[in-house]
Structure 1
Amino acid sequence: MKLDSTIAAVVTGGASGLGEATARALAAKGVKVAIFDLQAEKGEKVAAEIGGVFCEVNVTSDESVDAGFAKARAANGQESVLVCCAGTGNAMKTASRSKEDGSIKHFSLEAFNWLIQINLVGTFRCVAKSAAGMLTLDPGVDGERGAIVMTASVAAEDGQIGQAAYSASKGGVVGMTLPIARDLMGEGIRVNTILPGIFNTPLMQGAPQQVKDNLAASVPFPKRLGNASEYANLALTMIENGYFNGEDVRLDGAIRMAPR
C-alpha cells in the first residue's frame, strides 16, 4: 500500500507512546490520521500538530468506538489503515501469601476481566468495525482494501511473574492474528501484529533511572530501551509491504524475559 494523502488511517492509543509515534509517522507520509484515545488534552495537541483529527474513544464501549469511527470518517473518509496501540497493564500473582501475616489472596477476577476487555476485546472491537468499513472500499493493487496492525507484547510469549492477565490479553491478540487475516483474505485486508519488548514510553519514563538502566542492560543488543519511532517504522513496513500478512513479529532487541 502506498501511503500518501489519498489514504486515511485510524490509530488507537495515538495520544502518546507507540501510538503517537505511529500517528506522526503516518502523517509525515501525507496520510490523513484520526487519533482514538481517552487522553483528550494530549490527543487534541498531537492531532493539531499533525493536521489530524482527535476522537475521544473508550475501546471498551461499542457506542464510543462507533462514534469515533463516525467522526473520523466524516473528517477523513473511510480508513484503509488501522493501527491498534490502545492498551494498559497490571501485575499481581495468581495467588499469593502475605509475608507479614501469612494471609492468602488471589488475583481479582474483576481486574483480570478489566484488562482483557481493554487489551483484547477492545482491540478486536476496533478491528472488526474498521474491517467492516474497509469492505466498502474499491479494491486497489492486488485487490487490496486495507491493512491492520495490532499490538501485543513479548509477554504474550514469555510473561513474567504477576503477568497472567496481561500475558493472556496479549497472547489473545497474537492468537487471533492469523484467523482474522484468514477471515479477511477474500476481501483484500491484511492483518499483522507487533510484539514490542521494553520500550521507552511515557509509562517507562516515570521509572527510576536505575530501574531503566537495569532493564536496558538485560537487552542482548542493542543494550537500550526501544524507541517509539522504531515501533512506528515496523508498523509502516507492515502496512506498505503488500506481502506482509498474518504475521506476529517480536521487536525486542532479542530479549527473552526472565521470570521476574
Structure 2
Amino acid sequence: MNASRLRRILAAPALRALLLQMLAFPLTLAAVWLLARAGMAPQPLGVALLQGAGAALLSWRAGLARWWLAIQFVFPSALLLAQDGARGLALPPALFLVVFLLLVLVYWSTFRTQVPYYPSGRAVRDVVAGLLPQERPAAAIDIGSGLGGLVLDLARRRPDCRIDGIELAPLPWLASRLRARLEGSRARFLRGDYDDLDFGSYDLVFAYLSPAAMAALWRKASAEMQPGSVLVSYEFIIVDRAPDWHLVIESTHKNVYVWHF
C-alpha cells in the first residue's frame, strides 16, 4: 500500500467517526459515575444516549459532516436495541454475520471512498449516449459502474465502441459480469479503484459518485484526459471548475454536468 492511499484511509470519515466513538467512551463512563453518585444511575438506554451525544459532540468539534452527527448519536442506541431485539426474537448470531458480509460485498470500501451505490436512470443513459462521438468508434467508461446498467445499455446502442465499467465492490461487479455474459455483451467490467486507471485512454468518462469524491476526480481528469474527451457527472458538480454545459433531467430534476477537454 502506497503512502497516499494510506493517508486517504486514515483520513476517511468512517475511521474518524469510530475513533471519536472510542474517545467518547471514557467521557460516558465519567458521566455515568457522576449520575450514580447523585443517585440517578441511568438505565442501559440512557447510557447509550449519553454515549451517542458525546460522540456526536466530538464529531461536531472535529468537523465531520452533519449526517455523521446523526449516525454517531443513533449508533450506540441502535446497537443496544438490536441486541435486545435479537434476544427477544431468538435470532441466531450467524444471521448478523451473514447480513454483515452481504453489506461488505455490496458497499465494500464506501467508508473510504465515500461513494455509495447510486443507480442512474434511463434518461441519463440517453444523454450519455448522445455525448459519444457519432462519426467514429470511441471508448467510454463508467467509474463506479454498480450493477452495470449504463455500461450494458451503451454497449447495445454503440457496438462499434469500447464500453467499460469499473467497480470496487465485489458483489455488484460480479453481478454486472454475469449480466454481460448472459446478454452476450461486449461490455467489459473491471474490478478495482478507478484511481488506478489512465483516463487518457477514454473519450468519455462518466461518474455518478458523491460530493466528497468530486475534487479528487477533477484533479485526476484534468491531469490525464486528452483534448477532445468529455467528463460527465450526474447530479454532483465540481466546485472548483464550472461545467461547460449542463442539462436538467426532467424525471428527476437533477443535473447532468459536462466538462470538455
Which is greater in Rg? 2
More helix as a share of residues: 2
TM-score, normalisation: structure 1: 0.37
The structure with higher relative contact order (CA 8 Å, sep 6+) is 1
